[in-house]
Chains A and B, each alone.
Chain A
């Protein structure tokens, strides 16, 4: 039995400060199989890969390779056991040649010098094996994403990898490029490699994998034969959690439409995105990684420029070229990355809160410290921060308290629309509930709120309406009553499902 599985993980647990990223997870990889790994954002897939490659050391559990128990102390150990990972975002050296990228870390050396001739020959041979249409002497940066992935695969082959992990390799590929990747992957399998293929796309799974393992909320849910499981059952496995209503949003009578987006397009990112939001309403905007939700709201906020499309505020078309235009029109953004984009860490909370609106407290030229402090004090108290004084530096606060300050900061402006991008990311449960409470109160005060979130319970609990995106397109809109986890995930994978059905039908 021992030889049946080239890789087996039993009871793997990984704990990061405050979160269990993996909770008693199991996994079995047969020799020469392509095994799909699926799950929502944050299900624990990425951490799992890092445990297999030796980047993270698990806090519990056992890893077996070819039936022998091993301990991976670092990425080098993973490599020496023949494990290689190809990531979605290629981590390469763009200014070096393909050969140098392939042999980075295990260069061929002859008498103390690098043996370029042999390395180029070997690299060329590997590329030929993959039917690559570029040369080993090409500069990495001049290649397309698909070509760069091929280099990564060649790199895995050059180190004699027996277990190859592909993390969302098709996410940024065109259909033809994906097709080529499928062929390469199958070829690798036929030559004896075992492959773990992570993807959000159903068609990837149907096309390649024989078995699929599902993770949900850091836990192992099950392993299924691809032939025997239906789309519906798979989606249920991915989202079938019990949701206890922990964030009731107060019942509010909606006002007039405040913001309307019509056919917003940005080439290469998203296309024909339309939605609207009314006063007192929380609009949930969700989707899987690569759905381009953040890109859409950054465009509305004026950080990026759209190629076409219109934005209406209270019925009137507005032009937003930069964030100050958005703020002037009454649109505020609570960024996902509050520590780098939202707040100035080295400043006290008071100055952070008033920064956007300093002219309001003084005049166009001069600041007015007294008025600023009074306003900052009131705002900081209204969000119930744990900070003691306005001069406490942001960097000394916890994530949850920083987020409250970030909320206080956008409330300093005279806004109509609040865009909140992953408002509870990286925040502990207690602070989460407080943020939800604040959001409910804001809706009651008549703000139109757009909330981007990857967390299903949050989306279902807080949103009055849910807009689901998939790969740059709006694929569905659900009311609070009709929304279920299964429906949302189906829309979030919509494009993928259609293609998968086509494939199955064919």
Chain B
């Protein structure tokens, strides 16, 4: 069957420099450069290979949470229980280790705990579709943190530094230069980026985030996708818990407090909006480094943690407001390309 009019349709995307320049990511890169200029003015040692790796290591364990969080936000949902999942995973890692379980098994236990927590979120979300994911994960957040506190009270569980390889997950450097964690993060980020933009799963995530019902009618397994993404989030909470435990050498029930804000804030500032169906992975990654390095820089000049909290909150509000400001709308329209 051919069209009667014989009209042809353009199938190639035109390259436009203007379009590239008004992309949201371009704006993020500019801010990113400004943050780096600020940091190098604060510290002479900042702009060097060890200095930069030192800086990135300060936030990369949280950055692991932004990877699945991009997916969660992309399908139009939210998971605010990630910080508590990190806490529960870390606490159970410590408890297991101190109960005589070998460290490799304790690490697997931590990952499994994360997977279970995420799976629970996912099951509730798909069995009770009328519930808002915000409410579900608010509830499980309290539940997970509560269990962690019940197990440990206000104690901590430590002694992880006695296992050298575990300590090296965070502190180790390949060839004495590149941190192990950095390498693992880059590998994970590449995989997530490819899945988001080059895979059928990624395209379907955009569809689900843009219109869940149309996605269902197009034969997409929406519940399966939601369950997968929540579970994946849990797994990466476990990963984050492992690196955080490696860094501190111990675990407390309050570990990971506020991580959900950092993770969501990084994604949202990166253009992965909470409305679903929008955003791109590169933007989110630039934003991870931008916010992480900004925080590091503020730490260098001894800005107190309270003020840091204020800055964080203000930035998050700014980030969620951007698409709704007139200027932001201009950027969003041009930058966030889903079609």
Contact = CB atoms under 8 A, between A and B. Distances in A.
Contact of B2 (A326, A382, A386): A382
Interface in B1-44: 1-5, 7-13
A374 B2 contact: no
B220 A324 contact: yes
Interface residues of B, number: 35
Nearest to A345: B211
B45 interface: no
Given A323-B216, A376-B11, A384-B5, A347 B198 contact: no
B66 to A, nearest CB: 23
B10 A388 contact: yes
Contact of A384 (B3, B203, B214): B3
B306 interface: no
B11 A347 contact: no
B199 interface: yes
Q: Chain A: interface residue count, which band? A: 35 or more
Interface stretch (A34-42, A144-152, A358-366): A358-366
Contacts of A169: none
A389 B216 CA distance: 26
B7 A381 contact: yes
A382 B3 contact: yes
Pick the most buried of B3, B13, B221: most chain A CB atoms within 10 A of its CB: B3
B8 A344 contact: no
Given A348-B339, A385-B9, A389-B9, A356 B218 contact: yes
Contacts of A326: 219
Contacts of A391: 10, 13, 339
B13 A355 contact: no
Contacts of A323: 216-219
Given A327-B219, A351-B339, A382-B2, A341 B204 contact: no
Given A340-B214, A367-B198, A445-B1, A377 B11 contact: yes
B303 to A, nearest CB: 40
B2 A356 contact: no
A445 B202 CA distance: 34
A472 interface: no
Contact of A365 (B3, B199, B206, B215): B199
Contacts, number: 115
A350 interface: yes
B338 interface: yes
Interface in A422-472: 437-438, 441-442, 445
A291 interface: no
Contacts of A343: 214
B217 A341 contact: yes
Interface in A296-323: 301, 303, 322-323
B105 interface: no
B199 to A, nearest CB: 5
B218 A384 contact: no
Contacts of B220: 324, 355
B48 interface: no
B221 A384 contact: no
A436 to B, nearest CB: 13
A235 interface: no
Nearest to B210: A344
A81 B203 CA distance: 56
Contacts of A376: 11
A362 B219 contact: no
B88 interface: no
B203 to A, nearest CB: 6
B218 A381 contact: no
Interface string B212-244: 011111111100000000000000000000000
Nearest to B277: A346
Most buried by A among B12, B218, B277: B218
A43 interface: no
B200 interface: yes
Contact of B213 (A341, A385, A437): A341
A384 B10 contact: no
A366 B198 contact: yes
Interface string B190-214: 0000000011111110110011011
Contacts of B9: 377, 380-381, 385, 387-390
A351 B206 CA distance: 11
Interface in B267-315: 277
B271 to A, nearest CB: 15
A342 interface: yes
A381 B10 CA distance: 10
A107 to B, nearest CB: 31
Given A335-B217, A341-B214, A388-B9, 10 more contacts: A323-B219, A324-B220, A344-B210, A364-B200, A365-B200, A367-B199, A386-B7, A391-B13, A409-B218, A437-B4
18 contacts: A322-B219, A324-B221, A340-B213, A340-B214, A342-B214, A347-B338, A347-B339, A348-B339, A356-B218, A362-B200, A367-B198, A374-B11, A377-B8, A377-B9, A382-B3, A383-B3, A393-B339, A442-B1
Closest 5 A/B residue pairs (Cβ): A348-B339, A389-B10, A324-B219, A384-B3, A377-B11
